[in-house]
Amino acid sequence: MAKAASSLALPIIFLVLLSLGEQNMGSIMCDLLIGPCAKFPDCDNSCRDKLGPDSNGFCDIKAKNYCHCKYDCWNAKTPV
């Protein structure tokens, strides 16, 4: 009986990991710098215009004041 239970453990673990992977397929985030913050004063709206409604943006001081967009790689518009 112990052997039968152990032979089922590996397929069950595989199925659980597979189902967890499918749930997270759409959550991979990408980054894009679209230009200087002076050119795009509202980075958040500029990112939404270029990459779709699920993206967001901010003025990244570390990137020399460039608009930094984060968007869902799978569901966004094609970056320009």
Average pLDDT taken over every residue of the chain:
77
Separation CA 76–CA 71 (nearest Å)? 7
Long-range contacts of 40-47 (CB under 8 A, 24+ apart): 40/67, 43/67, 43/68, 43/69, 47/71
Task: Summarize pLDDT for 21-49 with one digit per residue, the tens.
Answer: 555 555 678 999 999 999 989 999 999 99
- So what's the pLDDT on residue 20? 55
Residue 52 binned pLDDT confidence (cut-offs 50, 70, 90): confident
Q: Please, which residues have CB within 8 angstroms of residue 70's CB and are 6 or more apart in sequence?
A: 29, 30, 31, 47, 55, 56, 57
Helix, strand or coil, per DSSP, at residue 25: helix
Residue 7: its pLDDT value, please?
73
